[in-house]
Amino acid sequence: MTRPKQSSTLAAILRQRCPRCRKGGIFPYSIFRGFPKMCPRCSICDLKFQREEGYFLGAMYISFGLALAIIALIAALLWAVTGWRITKDVIWAVVLFVPLAPSISLFARVLWIYLDQTFDPEPSGNAHRSDELAKVCNFNGSAVDKDKADRFPAHHLCVRRPGRGIRRKCD
């Protein structure tokens, strides 16, 4: 049986596709044609693109790095072609970069989603959506961070599932 062929990671990033299935779009239309609103979830695999508030703070750092690299490249090209002083080249490079800034900002979001899914992938399938994952809590029902859960004996832990109440973890 043959598996359906997935596109390469680079091609999927450039086409702004979902990092999990590489078929659904992150934006309704290309970021290179305007300033579209981001889709909340992938239409194919239901991956949530913005996991939490402040999720895209890291994308700002990526955007800043891309901006510096592009401005430096434009300034170097201007300096090589025109022979102007470097300060004048940098000023013109910034002026020429300004129209690209919105697209670079949105492209940085795509890169951030891919980077995040590489290091901390969200489980696939609708049953395991991040907002429906079980929370570990102590036996009286108060929430406990999963990394602190090992401090409690197993019989003192339970699992809280949204809409299903509390059940003991070791039952």
pLDDT at residue 98, rounded to an integer: 95
pLDDT at residue 150, rounded to an integer: 52
Would you give the DSSP letter of residue 161?
A: E
The DSSP result for 19-88, as a single string, is TTTSSSBSSSS-GGGS-PPPPSB-TTT--BS--STTTTHHHHHHHHHHHHHHHHHHHHHHHHHH---HHH
* Model pLDDT for residues 24-59, shown as the tens digit of each residue: 889 888 777 777 788 888 888 888 988 888 889 999
* Model pLDDT for residues 115-129, shown as the tens digit of each residue: 999 998 877 654 444
For the chain, domain boundaries: 9-127, 134-168
pLDDT at residue 3, rounded to an integer: 55
Please give the structure tokens belonging to residue 134: 């079980």
* Model pLDDT for residues 139-166, shown as the tens digit of each residue: 444 454 544 555 544 444 444 444 444 4
pLDDT at residue 52, rounded to an integer: 87
pLDDT at residue 50, rounded to an integer: 86
**pLDDT surpassing 80 at residue 112:** yes
Which residues lie across from 25 on neighbouring strands? 17
**pLDDT surpassing 90 at residue 7:** no
Mean pLDDT, the chain, rounded, equals: 76
Place of tokens 């090992």: 150
